[in-house]
Chain A
Amino acid sequence: MAPFAMNGAKSKMQGGLMEYFVQQLVNGVTLGSIYGLIAIGYTLVYGIVGMINFAHGDIFMVGAFVALIVITALGLTASTGLGLSILALILVLVISMVVASVYGWTVERVAYRPLRGSFRLAPLITAIGMSIVLQNFVQISQGARVKPLQPIISGGHTLMRRVDAQGEFAVQISNMQIFIIVITFSLMVAFTLLIAKTPLGRAQRACEQDTKMAALSGINVDHTISLTFVLGAALAAVAGLMFLLYYGVIDFFIGFVAGVKAFTAAVLGGIGSLPGAMLGGMVIGLIETFWSAYFSIEYKDVAAFAMLALVLIFLPQGLLGKPEVEKV
């Protein structure tokens, strides 16, 4: 921390340039964790089936809603003790992961599996259809209005503090942000191990390389693809809970923009690559946060979308992806 504090002397903005920067960095990493979790779902599905699961963003939205409902049902508030509320939140997490997984599984079963082997655009169209269905289903069943949630985990820590003529500026990391970052990284580690070490992970990697060959060597491809959707949906539900806790408001439309940004993250990191998705999520989260902090908050989505276009034009294989060989 020491070098940061010394650099902070060149103060241009209120509170000092460096402190402001570090604060945005903390916020950006939190947001990036959320995008990264959603991006994993895109990257896994694209790796295996080669389609953009357009409804994935809406699975994330469903996860956030389930979390909201369960939190309300449990009666969690800020006055619940920190230890108890973290235990309860883990329960909420598990429930919303399970429900979102069932959604993910059903979407795959109903809308994508019958079209496997059909022409390329067909599953994309059903994916858009499914996305419309999910959005409107939630809008009808839960209402179109924005749902607020009181903060549950309160408090935080001051990382840096600076007092000068313009006043005081403290770099804060809230307990909520710590919770989000810790959960995300533990899940990332667990997930990487799952893909690298377990039979399921092996089957998944086999299907990704060559579906036909994997089927010939005795892997149940349908089963593996279903499980991929389930895993992606479960991680999206985690992201949903994080989003809910971080922003405190959700509505039925959050899935669309978050989904496009997470897809951007997946492409940026190199589609098909798991660490790439996480890295891409971080980059997108940081770009969005810094853009809002230094330029204009209205155009933060434009920044993310423009990033997508730039990446695809100049680095189509992404940061950690393998360049694609075109075969006749």
Chain B
Amino acid sequence: MMQHKAPQTALRRMVTDLVTTAVIALVIFGVMVGLKTDTIPGGLELTPRWLATIEIVAVVVLGRLMLHLIWWRRKPGVGAGTTWVPARVLRGWAHTLVHLGKLARPALLVFALVMPFLPFTDRYLLDLSILVLTYIMLGWGLNIVVGLAGLLDLGYVAFYAVGAYSYALLAAHFGWSFWLCLPLAGILASFWGIILGFPVLRLRGDYLAIVTLAFGEIIRIVLLNWYWFTGGPDGLSGIPRPDFFGIVGFERGPGGFADTFGLEYSSLHRIIFLYFLILALALLTNFVTMRLRRLPIGRAWEALREDEIACRSLGLNTTTVKLSAFATGAMFAGFAGAFFATRQGFISPESFTFTESALVLAIVVLGGMGSQMGVVIAAVALIGGFEVFREFAQYRMLIFGLAMVLIMIWKPRGLISGREPTIFLGARKSISADLVSQGEGH
């Protein structure tokens, strides 16, 4: 068939392609979906599910047909550029979008500040917001390492775990308060960042990724097996809840938060306090990152991301620069970990698997590396998406993985891929990320 390339009609090509698709889909789904293995006493038995297989194959072929009929029919240049909307309206729309974009940050911030007091806010929404904010904070922390310094870290969750276990253990053994342990958790995590980072930061991008992944797994395995210290798979429970800046606790009755401030007792007070705590921590992360970008060290990070060899020839000590990024990112993960421990009241190695690292990395990359706003959008979309698909709990990781692949193919640079230079001649201009060769410096 390959030998004689007679001019095929478009229809014939399409049919051949569809038949190929059907065969491939049949091989892929025929065995895995078509024959289910079930454990029975004394071995396994097979349950055929041919109908489901045929349905899936049909859906795949139909999807391919739709691609043929609609998506690939668009002639190059047509469709993307020309629409029925007049050019003036489009320009005006783009203009409005830019203005809206400028308003978005303060508007979002105000919304985040008043959110807990809005009439529709309930316990569920607050919990969800706390979760989203935790991931935003982790995303911003990882953004320092991945987005600014261009170091791919697949074991970020290890530092999150160090922070969480630091607080849990310090509180359990010494009875220290959350406010004392919070900075300590950050310091310990960044200390681990330096210890782990020191030997591996000489490595090139992909190798660094795998080694950080290995370190993440090592920390998890140690937490799992160091039974007398970390509680092993049972984890640590009874972690103290935070109090109101060391003044009062959130208990019911005299001396509690509600009593002291003359309010009616509500279990929501603690949740609202936790919400503001994580909001403050996240904003702190963002603020520090934004300020650091304007300092020599931040500029060094970004220079390193663009071209490591150039950095070295200009006399930058790349090891120190990388270590500082690693340690700073780890510190924020440590803070977030301490917060996680105090919010949950229970931690176990289950919470610090590779999936968590992948999720945070996905938030950073899908949002657009180096973009603070992108992290927010991606965190809201992904964690919110998880909640929407809660009923299909089984399928949500599958959908998450597919979304990761599809968004990456659609926008390899992430949702917000522009660059905001911190040093400029004349006027500040945003640059498209396509113009910079991110991550080429190894």
User: Could you tell me the distance in whole angstroms from the C-beta of A250 to the nearest C-beta in chain B?
Assistant: 10
Q: Specify which chain B residues have a CB less than 8 angstroms from the CB of A114 in the assembled complex.
A: 409
B409 touching A128 by the CB < 8 A rule?
Answer: no
A189 at the interface (CB under 8 A from B): no
A190 within 8 A of B: no
Q: Is B221 in contact with A140, judged by CB distance below 8 angstroms? A: no
Are B39 and A148 in contact, with the CB atoms below 8 A? yes
Q: In the bound complex, do residue B44 and residue A68 qualify as a contact, i.e. CB atoms below 8 Å apart? A: yes
Q: Report the Cα distance A106→B383, complex, angstroms.
A: 28
Interfacial chain B residues near A115, Cβ < 8 Å? 408-409, 412
Known: A119-B412, A119-B437, A130-B401. A256 touches B200 (CB 8 A): no
Q: In the complex, are the beta carbons of B44 and A298 less than 8 A apart?
A: no
A65 within 8 A of B: yes
Q: Contact check, B210 vs A99: say whether CB atoms are below 8 A apart.
A: no
A129 and B405 form a contact (CB under 8 A): yes
**By the criterion CB–CB under 8 Å, are A72 and B46 in contact?**
yes
Chain B residues whose C-beta falls within 8 Å of the C-beta of A128 in the assembled complex: 358, 361-362, 404
Q: List the B side residues contacting A256 at CB < 8 Å.
A: 354
Q: Are the CB atoms of A137 and B398 closer together than 8 Å?
A: yes
The answer to whether A126 touches B221, judged by C-beta atoms less than 8 angstroms apart, is no
B439 CB to nearest chain A CB (Å): 4
Residue among B31, B42, B200 with most chain A CB within 10 A: B31
- Nearest B residue to A73 by beta-carbon distance? B46
Interface string of A114-132 (1 = CB under 8 A from B): 1100111110111011111
User: CB within 8 Å of A: which of B156-209?
Assistant: 199-200, 202-203, 205-207, 209
- Is the CB of B24 closer than 8 A to any CB of chain A? yes
- Asked if A65 meets B225 with Cβ closer than 8 Å, knowing A72-B45, A99-B27, A263-B210, the reply is no
Contact (Cβ within 8 A) B409 A126: yes
Interface presence of B213 (CB below 8 A): yes
Q: Does A197 contact B (CB under 8 A)?
A: no
The size of the chain A interface, using a CB distance under 8 A, is 70
Residues of A within 8 A of B206 (CB): 46, 50-52, 120, 124
Tell me whether A124 and B152 are in contact in the complex, defined as CB-CB below 8 angstroms, given that A302-B222, A308-B210, A326-B442 are known contacts: yes
Q: With a CB–CB cut-off of 8 A, which chain B residues contact A98?
A: 27
Q: How far is the CA of A139 from the CA of B437 in the complex (A)?
A: 38
* In the complex, chain B residues whose CB is within 8 Å of the CB of A162: none
Chain A residue contacts of B401, Cβ below 8 A: 129-133, 136
Q: Which A residues from 56 to 91 make CB contacts under 8 A with B?
A: 62, 65-66, 68-70, 72-73, 77
Interface: A158 (CB within 8 A): no
A201: chain B residues within 8 A (beta carbon)? none
Q: Mark B334-353, 1 if CB is under 8 A from A, else 0.
A: 00000000000000000000
Contacts of B146 in A (CB 8 A): 121
Question: With an 8 A cutoff between CB atoms, is A299 at the interface?
Answer: yes
Per the bound structure, the CA–CA distance linking A137 and B211 in Å amounts to 27
Pairwise interchain contact B408-A305, C-beta atoms closer than 8 A? no
Name which residue of chain A comes closest to B146, CB basis: A121
* Residues of A with C-beta under 8 A to B354: 256
Report the separation of the CA atoms of residues A123 and B360 in the bound assembly, to the nearest whole angstrom: 17
| Contact of A125 with B404 in the complex, beta carbons under 8 Å | yes
**Known A120-B440, A267-B210, A309-B215; contact A132-B28, beta-carbon cutoff 8 A:** no
Residues of A contacting B438 in the complex (Cβ-Cβ under 8 angstroms): 119-121
Give 1 or 0 for each of A300-321: 1 = CB within 8 Å of chain B CB: 0110011011001100100000
The answer to whether A69 touches B31 (Cβ under 8 A) is yes
Q: By the criterion CB–CB under 8 Å, are A313 and B199 in contact?
A: yes
Q: Specify which of A125, A309, A316 is in contact with B365 (CB 8 Å cutoff).
A: A125
Instruction: Give the residues in chain B near A131, CB-CB below 8 Å.
Output: 401
Contacts of A118 in B (CB 8 A): 412
- Determine the distance from Cα of A19 to Cα of B406 in the docked complex, in whole angstroms: 54
> Is B309 an interface residue, CB under 8 A from the partner?
yes
Q: Are B213 and A260 in contact (CB under 8 A)?
A: yes
Determine whether A150 belongs to the interface, using a CB cutoff of 8 Å to chain B: yes
Tell me which residues across on chain B come within 8 A of A130, comparing CB atoms: 401, 405
A103 at the interface (CB under 8 A from B): yes
Would you call B395 and A309 a contact (CB within 8 A)?
no
Residues of B near A12 (CB, < 8 A) are none
Q: Which residue of A lies closest to B198 (CB)?
A: A313
Complex-state Cα separation, A225 to B409, whole angstroms: 19
Chain A residues near B405: list those with CB within 8 A. 110-111, 126, 129-130, 133
A312 vs B214: C-alpha distance in the bound complex, in angstroms?
A: 12
Contact B362 A125 (CB under 8 A): yes
Please determine whether A68 and B37 come into contact, CB atoms closer than 8 angstroms: yes
**Complex Cα–Cα for A264 and B394 (A):** 31
Known A131-B401, A140-B395, A263-B210; further 13 A-B contacts with Cβ < 8 A:
A69-B35, A69-B37, A119-B412, A119-B439, A120-B440, A125-B361, A126-B405, A126-B409, A132-B401, A136-B397, A147-B44, A256-B354, A308-B210
Instruction: Point out residues on A near B: beta carbons under 8 Å.
Output: 46, 50-52, 62, 65-66, 68-70, 72-73, 77, 98-99, 102-103, 105-106, 110-111, 114-115, 118-122, 124-126, 128-133, 135-143, 145, 147-150, 256-257, 260, 263-264, 267, 298-299, 301-302, 305-306, 308-309, 312-313, 316, 326, 328
**The 3 residue pairs across chains A and B that have the minimum distance between CB atoms:** A132-B401, A129-B404, A133-B401
